[in-house]
Amino acid sequence: MEIEEIILQLSNIQKKLEASIRDHYYNTQPVLTTGLLVNNKIVDLQLYLQDLLLIGAITQSSLLLSGSSGSGKTYLAELVLERLFGPAGFTRKNITPDMNEQDFMDIDFGAIKAGKRLKDALLADELFNRPSLIIDEANRAPPIIQNRLMQVLENNIDLKSKTFRAGKLLEDGSHYQWIILTLNLGAEYAGTSAIDRALKDRITIDIPIDNFPPTIDDQIRMIRAKSIRKPGPSSPEETGSKSPAGELVDVKGNLSEDVFEIYQHVEDVQLNLDAEALLLYLSFCSGCVKSPTRSKYGVTFSPTYCKEQQCKYARNPPLKDFCPFIFSPSNRVLRKVVLVAKGLYLVKQAVLFNRLLKKDEADAKAFLMQNPNREVGINEIIEIAPFILHSKIAMNRELVVNKFNGNTFLAIKHVLKVINGQLNKFMKEILPALVQEMRGESLNQKDTVVRKRLLEEDFHLEGLIKYVEKYLELGD
Peptide linkage before 143 cis (omega within 30 of 0): no
pLDDT at residue 240, as a whole number: 39
Query: Mean of the pLDDT values across residues 440-453?
Result: 92
Distance of alpha carbon 203 from alpha carbon 119, whole angstroms: 30
> In the chain, where are the structural domains located?
3-268, 273-471
Q: Which of 90-104, 108-122, 364-378, 423-437 is least confident?
A: 108-122
pLDDT at residue 242, as a whole number: 40
- Over the stretch 190-199, which tens digit does the pLDDT of each residue have? 567 778 888 8
pLDDT at residue 275, as a whole number: 96
Q: Which residue would you say has higher pLDDT here, 459 or 38?
A: 459
The pLDDT-based confidence of 25 (bands split at 50, 70, 90) is very high
Q: Which residue would you say has higher pLDDT here, 51 or 102?
A: 51
pLDDT at residue 167, as a whole number: 87
CA atoms within 13 A on the CB side of 241: 23
Quickly list H helices, 439-473: 445-457, 461-471
pLDDT at residue 431, as a whole number: 94
Nearest to 147 by CA among 199, 95, 191, 200: 199
The pLDDT-based confidence of 105 (bands split at 50, 70, 90) is low
Q: Do residues 42 and 35 touch, judged by C-beta distance below 8 A? A: yes
- Over the stretch 335-366, which tens digit does the pLDDT of each residue have? 999 999 999 999 999 999 999 999 989 888 88
- Over the stretch 457-473, which tens digit does the pLDDT of each residue have? 999 999 999 999 887 76
Residue 163 phi/psi, 5-degree rounding, is -100, 135
Q: Do residues 159 and 105 touch, judged by C-beta distance below 8 A? A: yes
Residues 334-349, buried b or exposed e (16+ Cβ, 10 A)? bebbbbbbbbbbbbbb
Nearest to 67 by CA among 206, 193, 197: 206
Share of residues in the chain with pLDDT > 70 (%): 86
pLDDT at residue 445, as a whole number: 92
Q: Is the pLDDT of residue 370 over 50?
A: yes
DSSP 336-370: HHHHHHHHHHHHHHHHHHHHHHHH-HHHHHHHHHS
Query: Mean of the pLDDT values across residues 250-269?
Result: 86
How far CA 81 is from CA of 187, 418, 469, in Å, comes to 29, 37, 47
- Over the stretch 282-309, which tens digit does the pLDDT of each residue have? 999 999 999 999 999 989 999 999 999 9
- Over the stretch 41-88, which tens digit does the pLDDT of each residue have? 888 999 999 999 999 999 999 999 999 888 899 999 999 999 999 999
pLDDT at residue 81, as a whole number: 97
Nearest to 324 by CA among 299, 347, 358: 299
Share of residues in the chain with pLDDT > 90 (%): 61
- The pLDDT mean for the chain works out to 86
Residues 137-165, buried b or exposed e (16+ Cβ, 10 A)? bbbbbbeebbebbbbbbebebebeeeebe
Nearest to 85 by CA among 48, 25, 30, 129: 129
Q: Which residue would you say has higher pLDDT here, 128 or 184?
A: 184
- Look up the CATH number of domain 3-268: 3.40.50.300
